[in-house]
Structure 1
Amino acid sequence: MSGSPPELPIVVLDALMPTAQNLVLNRRGSMVWEVQSRRGHYAVKIGYPIEATAEWPAQPWTALAPAREGAVLLRLGLVDLAYGEWEHGTWNFQPWHEGPDLYKLWEPCRRPGSSIEPHISVAMGCVESLAELHAKGWAHGDVQPAHFIIGPERTHLIDLALAQGGHVPEGYDFPFRGCLVHYEAPEVARSVLDTGEAEPTSEADIYALGASLLISATGWRAVEYPDDAPRSIQREAVADGRRRPVKGPGELGNLVDAMLSHIPEDRPTIFEVGKALNSL
């Protein structure tokens, strides 16, 4: 990729014919655009490979991620989308979801001295969106606060490029090598350390949801490690279960603790989490 300002690939421009476009993300192998067109309001994702640096190995899979996500979304029944290839990788477009993400919405709860508690209804919206995915036989693999968009009518779970649960075209598939370590379940972290790969599961999604609720409500991640630690050191801390002595507010905190159990089988299912939230 050159250092010139990024532009949408010609194939996407031809498909959407934008009336307005705004680059909202451009980092490490991925660009996301908000695009308005006569066809509708879309998120456009553009992938390209990450070149090796002194700090990071090369990551060719990022070029395939948008097409893989497009294939997953089609398998899940979304029809208002498309995906394909461009000269540096792949792309997709899908409906744009308006609203703040979970971390941004709960920012007032994290202010020093704040007495504002997280709304249980917001947590329930996150649970419902993940429950829909699990009910279809898929695990998300990359649950984190930024991937829950709290809309005016419902919560949307986005970024399904790493999801597992059904057929993905071989040319766009790639192994799961973990996700953002803050939200990685201990068994996932251990597998990545030992083999370089792991398997997304519904139990790991539950752990990640618990970690997402905790950090969004308190500002603290679930596991103790230095902020600037190498990723392998972070994963060792997660795999060893080095929990921080921090707890979410009220009864939500007890539920989150159960979701963050070191043993996958001891975590509640997504439906049990929903039932527990309904009783709060």
Structure 2
Amino acid sequence: MKTLIRTAAAVALTAVMATPAMAKDTVALVVSTLNNPFFVTMKEGAEKKAAELNVDLIVLDSQNDPARELANIEDLTVRQVSAIMLNPTDSDAASNAARMVNRAGIPLLTLDRGVTRGKVASHIASDNVAGGKLAGDFIAQKLGKGAQVGQLEGVAGTSAARDRGEGFTQAVSANGFNLRSSQPADFDRTKGLNVAENMLASNPKLQAIFAQNDEMALGALRAARGAGKEVLIVGFDGTEEGIAAVNRGLLAATVAQQPALIGSMGVDAAVKVINGQAVDAVQPVPLQIISK
């Protein structure tokens, strides 16, 4: 009898040992570009939360190319990851990627920028409209109503550029600004430098520039210094370098986002969706203006 019990126990133990360990969920993050400190910080926030929640995280860089973004998404749908977080290169173009994810039956979440079409479980981002208005109102506090201002726009077609521009337009109207020029510089520092140089040359009385991200603001700063002009420059994102420039009195202010928190909240929401828990359709991340 004892032999039978021992044999049964051994069989049960063998069965337990033969059963494979439950695989960890795999969450993917497709980032518009990792050639921007803001999105690098977002990735790091996602990585930290993934480690904390014991899920695997795949990060793919679209290099600001919608075609590469679509290829990244296609690869992830074939691999049947548990959930996909998308930071779109272009909100309109990313609709095709969103529909591909929807057809694959994989939960989709968007970070920082939304998609124009497609089913999204949750969108996690700052209130970019409020941030654009916050930047404009700060300029009004410093220069008063009727100031002559310019704007450096982000990548056309992204929700972030559209919404930040909408908020700034509200401030322009509310404060009676004379908007002398508003041109795209694609969230890029070098393009921000070149566009700002032309903007300052064409508008010698320009008093302030709102740049829709810190990278363009830092480019505009170089342009203003190169032209020997005193221009109040306000950025957006609150990157480490942007905040450092504010503290040194070089940039007037930056509207600070929390990219690490956006990444962290994205992973947290993705895991909840995977586990069948309810999440809010829109999850706003707080903003603040940082000035010296």
| Global fold match (TM > 0.5) | no
TM-score by length of 1: 0.24
Higher fraction of strand: 2
Select the structure that is richer in helix: 2
TM-score (norm 2): 0.23
